[in-house]
Amino acid sequence: MNAIGKQLEQLNFMLIEMGALVERAVACAAKGFVAQDSENAKNVFRICGEIEAKEKEIEGLCMKLLLRPLDPRELRTISSVLHMIGELRKMGEQAGEISEVTEFLLNESYTVDMFVLPDMARETINMTIDSIHALVHNDINMALAVRDRDDRVDELFLTEKDMLIRTVREDAERAGQALDFMMVAKYFERIGDHACDVAEWVIYSITGKHTDND
């Protein structure tokens, strides 16, 4: 294997590491919020710092590779990686936002029904795992499946929003917490969007074509 091949192999390994960190961040954020678990929330903040550091490390290696003579497929791979790590970092940031809400609500019991929030959490965790699986294994079928599941998360978000709006209208005392829950639902919906975007860049890295997700 030549020097470029070794660096691309290293790049793939670093992507796997970053993906694993993102998986942990999203899972910890979900568990922390549902169980009002401060330890999991704090773990998310620590993991987010590791995600940002890994993103910078990957960016640095990509810049070094771009100074070398690369063929079109190698250039496409690096372009895709740079977009993917941005999406992965955003997923970590959304997990951090969820954990901030968890910390904010630690001193009060949940009086609002979560409705489909746990379902949203499970679905976005699975989308996160599968998008990273697609990334690591260059699995176009998995990437397509992730993209197609984004509609399910959107449906769950709309259901959650409608139920929480009803709570706000019917019970002013629980309105504040209901709005906090709505923010968490939106963060999960965004995590799903970013997982879908990772899958789109996996498809592009393999095919050289952007797909239509409409």
134, 180 Cβ separation under 8 angstroms = no
Q: Which of 142, 174, 191, 141 is nearest to 27 (CA)?
A: 191
Give every CB contact of residue 189 below 8 A, 6+ residues apart in sequence.
Answer: 120, 124, 153, 154, 157
pLDDT at 135: 87
Q: Is the Cα torsion angle 27, 33, 35, 38 positive or negative in sign?
A: positive
Pair of tokens at residue 206: 């393999």
Alpha carbon distance 79, 63 (integer Å) = 11
| Beta strand residue intervals within the chain, DSSP E | none
34, 114 Cβ separation under 8 angstroms = yes
Can you list the domains of the chain with their CATH numbers?
Answer: 3-207 (1.20.58.220)
Placement of tokens 């949940």 in the chain: 110
- Tell me the pLDDT of the chain (214 aa) as tens digits: 688 889 989 998 999 999 999 999 999 999 999 999 999 999 999 999 999 999 999 999 999 999 989 899 889 989 999 999 999 999 999 999 999 999 999 999 999 999 999 999 999 999 999 999 998 888 999 999 999 999 999 999 999 999 999 999 999 999 999 999 999 999 999 999 999 999 999 999 889 887 755 4
H or E element that contains 181: helix 175-207
